[in-house]
Structure 1
């Protein structure tokens, strides 16, 4: 039987054509942070495990999270306009005493919204917690109950997503895992740096003594009463192996068919 105090680390490779990790979005402007949020990673794990939006999140939110930026990507802005096909003025967010939406005043026929995404970004995420829970989550990610997404529902992850479990501290697991950037990016970097064996990568960790505060720890995902609390984080740099020399012991896609393989993911 697994000792109850034993911990383990699950590594996730968060990669795909588009990602979006919002934490302070409004109805007409949905922004993204430059790296995954804890609410986004917890939401992915909860979806994989088949949990409803009303299910408790204490065990998942209590996991220690570390994010390594392997390929920062760039910001993409998606511009939208919304109008009523009948030519009628749009409704406002204000409500009447009867619970009906009030018309915009002055009348507004077009509403502009903007969505922001990270394109061509790749992150290595590590979640650390009790070994039994981590084993359950790894199986769930490999056999998800619900579709998984990189922040926003339309952002599909590329393979491989789950890289398996690691023993030892979370920071050590992220430091020793080979660089996960796209093949073309690694080859170009290798030519420019003489095939160096290590690269310095930005990383952020949960840390009660950290000097940064983020309001992205989910308390509830229930519709109508979504709520979050804060966490402290620490920013650092890790010297990770580049993995420019193929390692037969680490197959790139042990999970089977990868629909994004031709894109160099």
Structure 2
């Protein structure tokens, strides 16, 4: 059986970027392959200009996610008063400045950024082929001692705990790896004493992976990034379904 790595994405705020239109930056309920690729690359210390390494890493990732705690969506309304001399760094590695006449600088630059607040998502992933660098062992070591500070989606989104949940573990597929991992602690009991956790858990896996019998929703998402050109251009078919909480081991211990 192939080895799978379990990642735990949990933070006060996270951003799982969706398709951005103008200055409106949405967030999904779960991370895409491109986000996990960037997260791993940051832990390994890859530089932005190492585009082929990013591209190859993304091509090898097979992953599924389990939304233990969906959290709530939060909209961040951002403004900045910029002058003609102000510059901003871009992912192209070159500074960018505003253009236009003098009147264009009288109004602030406005944008919307959406986040997931108090969410917890479990990621199960493997690499194909498994023996190419980086291996799962290399990624595990990088998450224990990352080359740079890690963030989940956007730089202010710092994880509330270690991202590496478990070292490489054998499992038949990503669903089996997700099914073997204990559920996360839920905040509902703390915020409302009479509240109970949701009876079922959302799981998202690639359409090529085995799935249980029962109702599911097939969706196509632009989840791959063309790291060479710097744009999202790859689409995948995913299956989204819900499983009873009893399908997974209960969370271990009590969190105050």
TM-score grouping bracket, smaller chain normalisation: 0.7 to 0.9
Partner of 1:74: 72
**Counterpart contact for 1:61–1:218, Cα < 8 Å:** no
The 5-angstrom pairing of residues 200-211 of structure 1 reads: 200-208=200-208, 211=218
Partner of 2:169: 166
Give 1:101's match in structure 2, choosing from 84, 99, 102.
99
- Note closer, same or farther for the CA distance 1:61–1:112 as it changes in structure 2 (3 Å cut): same
Q: Which has the larger radius of gyration?
A: 1
The 5-angstrom pairing of residues 149-160 of structure 1 reads: 149-160=151-162
Q: Look up the SS of the partner of 1:12 in the other structure.
A: strand
Partner of 2:231: 227
Question: How large is the RMSD of aligned CA atoms in angstroms?
Answer: 3.4
Find the aligned partners of 1:185 and 1:14 in 2 and give their Cα distance. Answer: 18
| Runs of 5+ unmatched residues, structure 2 | 87-96, 210-216
- Note closer, same or farther for the CA distance 1:123–1:152 as it changes in structure 2 (3 Å cut): same
Q: Look up the SS of the partner of 2:100 in the other structure.
A: strand
Report the TM-score when normalising by structure 1.
0.73
Find the aligned partners of 2:34 and 2:144 in 1 and give their Cα distance. Answer: 20
Find the aligned partners of 1:40 and 1:123 in 2 and give their Cα distance. Answer: 13
Partner of 1:65: 63
Find the aligned partners of 1:124 and 1:177 in 2 and give their Cα distance. Answer: 9
Find the aligned partners of 2:126 and 2:110 in 1 and give their Cα distance. Answer: 41
| Runs of 5+ unmatched residues, structure 1 | 1-5, 91-98, 247-251, 253-260
1:38 aligns with 2:45: no
Find the aligned partners of 1:190 and 1:109 in 2 and give their Cα distance. Answer: 47
- Note closer, same or farther for the CA distance 1:135–1:83 as it changes in structure 2 (3 Å cut): same
Q: Look up the SS of the partner of 1:215 in the other structure.
A: strand
Give the CA deviation at 1:53: 1.4
- Note closer, same or farther for the CA distance 1:100–1:213 as it changes in structure 2 (3 Å cut): closer
**Counterpart contact for 2:182–2:252, Cα < 8 Å:** no
Moved more, 140-149 or 9-18: 140-149
Give the CA deviation at 1:46: 0.8
Give 1:145's match in structure 2, choosing from 144, 147, 150.
147
The 5-angstrom pairing of residues 2-151 of structure 1 reads: 7-55=2-50, 56-57=53-54, 58-84=56-82, 101-103=99-101, 109-129=107-127, 130-132=129-131, 133-151=135-153
Q: Look up the SS of the partner of 2:184 in the other structure.
A: coil
- Note closer, same or farther for the CA distance 1:142–1:107 as it changes in structure 2 (3 Å cut): closer
Aligned residues between the structures: 228
- Note closer, same or farther for the CA distance 1:108–1:163 as it changes in structure 2 (3 Å cut): same
**Counterpart contact for 2:33–2:61, Cα < 8 Å:** no
Give 1:238's match in structure 2, choosing from 224, 243, 248.
243
Find the aligned partners of 1:30 and 1:173 in 2 and give their Cα distance. Answer: 31
- Note closer, same or farther for the CA distance 1:218–1:107 as it changes in structure 2 (3 Å cut): closer
**Counterpart contact for 1:187–1:244, Cα < 8 Å:** no
Give the CA deviation at 1:115: 1.4
